[in-house]
Amino acid sequence: MTERDPCERCEEMLQPYLDRDLEPAEVAEAERHLDGCAYCRRRYRFELSLRRYIRISATEGLKAKLAELRGLAGG
């Protein structure tokens, strides 16, 4: 077998996938794999929530979030 482990390939594509940095064909490949692989899907969701958390934690994001919350509270 010269075929590479598809999960290993998926892992390589995960970061550029999240960065929207892949070719359309690679996006399709990654999504096809994520669709059928619970292991990679979990890892994808984890990365996604991690990125969301980091983004919100970043100073700029925090400011924006606070402004948004103040806007909601103050009207």
Chain positions contacting Zn ion, by CB under 5 A: 7, 10, 37, 40
- Cβ of residue 68: shortest distance to Zn ion, in angstroms? 36
Nearer to Zn ion, 22 or 40 (CB): 40
- The helix or strand, by DSSP H or E, that contains position 50, with its residue range, turns out to be helix 38-57
- Helices 6-18 and 38-57, packing angle to 10 deg: 20
- Cβ of residue 30: shortest distance to Zn ion, in angstroms? 10
- Cβ of residue 33: shortest distance to Zn ion, in angstroms? 6
CA atoms 27, 55, 46, 15: torsion sign: positive
Largest CA distance in the chain: 63
Nearer to Zn ion, 36 or 66 (CB): 36
